Chains A and B, each alone.
Chain A
Amino acid sequence: MTMTVHVDIVSAEKEIFSGLAEMVFAPAELGEVGISPRHAPLITKLNAGEVRVKVSASESYPFFISGGLLEVQPHLVTILADTAIRANDIDEAAALDAKAKAEEALTDKSGKIDYATAQSQLSQAVMQLRTLDRFRKRGG
């Protein structure tokens, strides 16, 4: 039997995933990390991107988060997501729309729009689209 670790993913609004997994992949600030069971204690910030929970060799669940924190204990992995959405739930049209709006805002530097906000919106939209793409390629 393979070793498993308990994984909890929660966002401020609701609980998103709770259960056992063989491995968890998360977009840490210093690069993507993969957490196996009995990993040393770790706390790190997460960037916007995809969190993947590998439940078994054939089954894994992707989630999109727009930032957050990751805590690792040998027997427990907790992800506090700012907003986590099931990757299947991402509405591609909405993401594309948000991207278009953000790009528009970036080119229009007349001063009215906050440059930093627009950039973060753009990066989120791009991340959502990338997650969706990868999800599709895997044949979801």
Chain B
Amino acid sequence: MAVGKEIRTKIASIKNTQKITRAMEMVAASKMRKTKDRMQATRPYSKKIGKIIKHLAQANPEYKHPYLVVRDVKRVGIILVSSDRGLCGGLNSNLFRKTLSHLVQWDNANVEVDVCTIGTKAFGFFGNLKVNLVGQVSKLGDAPHLSDIVGVIRIMLDAYLEGRIDELYIVSNEFVNTMTQRPTVEQLLPVVACELDENLNGHWDYIYEPDAKEVLDNLLTRFIESKVYQGLVENNACEQAARMVAMKSASDNAGNLISELQLIYNKARQAAITQEISEIVAGAAAV
């Protein structure tokens, strides 16, 4: 029967798409678990180093490290963390929108911006814009290593030390829960400590071994690196969660579409049969 051939092929193709989205959903779900574990594993370190930085902010050192000194802002640097692949809902576009609104603010304040991107999506987006792209790294996979991102961090830290940028920000997605990811902009340099520890009031300073500059250099670089790394693994977990949700709704939509088409197909088939019967009956009556 030739009825509704187009509808049938359409249903078949939607079914194939649904199979793909369902498979992607399951892959994303299992990857999300792993990336979430990885994200949680890095937390103690960044928490502890944050605590040390907080203590340090309350010390009264003779040596002022450049990373701790606030300067007039003429140019800022941002490190933008995005995913490598698409099909993860509005994750990247929300992040880029947030970044753009900050870029506009800086532009209005006559502050120039240097951008370093992590991930192919950010590179693809900001590569086409008129922004000053100073470095990029991509294709890091699901288990990124700190050594992969040291390069872009170094670029920014050197620029800061040489006075080419006066502030450094990191833009990435924060993992709130599986359904919600929030784009955030966080200041990395100069290092600012918010809440203070009351136990540490009074005038005191650390003993630095071998010397203050070397130790602080080491500590603050680690701090920045751990922040960026944390942002990266968190963004990875966000990507998988967002992809899982996006693929789930895609599968659901495909299901709805299929049942609608099936209904149309059945109606068409029934109409054709009815017509055929009435034609036969009419033909028999005429004889």
Query: Which residues of A are in contact with B by a Cβ distance under 8 Å?
Result: 8, 10-15, 28-30, 40-45, 69, 71, 73, 75, 78, 80
- Given contacts A43-B208, A44-B209, list 10 more A-B pairs with CB under 8 A: A8-B44, A14-B44, A41-B205, A41-B206, A42-B206, A43-B52, A43-B56, A43-B207, A69-B222, A71-B52
Query: In the complex, A69→B214 CA distance in Å?
Result: 12
> Do B210 and A29 touch across chains, with their CB atoms under 8 A apart?
yes
A78 to B46, CA, bound (A): 12
Whether B207 lies near A78 (C-beta < 8 A) is no
Query: With the chains together, A41 CA to B218 CA distance in Å?
Result: 17
Cβ contact within 8 Å between A13 and B214: no
User: Contact flags (1/0) for B195-227 with A, using CB distance below 8 Å?
Assistant: 000011000111111100011101100100010
- The chain B residues found within 8 Å of chain A, CB to CB, are 41-42, 44-45, 48-49, 51-52, 55-56, 59, 146, 199-200, 204-210, 214-216, 218-219, 222, 226, 229
Are B208's CB and A12's CB within 8 A? Answer: no
Whether B219 lies near A69 (C-beta < 8 A) is yes
Residue of A12, A42, A44, A73 ringed by the most chain B CB atoms within 10 A: A12
Chain A residues with Cβ under 8 A from B222's Cβ?
69, 80
Are A45 and B210 CB-contacts (below 8 A) given A12-B229, A69-B218, A80-B49? Answer: yes
**Inter-chain contact A78/B52, CB cutoff 8 Å:** yes
- 27 CB-based A-B contacts, threshold 8 Å: A10-B45, A11-B45, A12-B146, A12-B229, A13-B42, A13-B45, A14-B44, A15-B45, A28-B209, A40-B207, A41-B59, A41-B205, A42-B208, A43-B216, A43-B219, A44-B209, A44-B215, A45-B215, A45-B218, A69-B219, A71-B52, A71-B55, A73-B55, A73-B200, A78-B51, A78-B52, A80-B48
| Contact of B209 (CB < 8 Å), options: A10, A15, A29 | A29
Chain B residues whose C-beta falls within 8 Å of the C-beta of A13 in the assembled complex: 41-42, 45
Report the separation of the CA atoms of residues A42 and B215 in the bound assembly, to the nearest whole angstrom: 11
- Least CB separation from A68: chain B residue: B222
Q: CA A36 – CA B198 in complex, angstroms?
A: 22
A44 touches B208 (CB 8 A): yes
User: Across the interface, do A43 and B205 meet the contact criterion of CB distance under 8 Å?
Assistant: no
Ranked nearest first, the 6 interchain pairs of A and B with the lowest CB-CB distance are: A44-B209, A15-B44, A42-B207, A41-B206, A10-B45, A10-B44
Inter-chain contacts of B199 with A (CB < 8 A): 75
How distant is the Cα of A2 from the Cα of B89 in the complex, in angstroms? 58
Closest residue of A by beta carbon distance from B225? A12
> In the complex, A97→B51 CA distance in Å?
38
- Please determine whether A41 and B207 come into contact, CB atoms closer than 8 angstroms: yes
A39 nearest in chain B by CB position: B207
Q: Could you say which residues of chain A place their CB within 8 Å of the CB of B218?
A: 45, 69
Bound-complex Cα distance A11 to B210 (A): 22
A80–B56 Cα distance when bound, in Å, is 15
Which residue on chain B has the smallest CB distance to residue A71?
B52
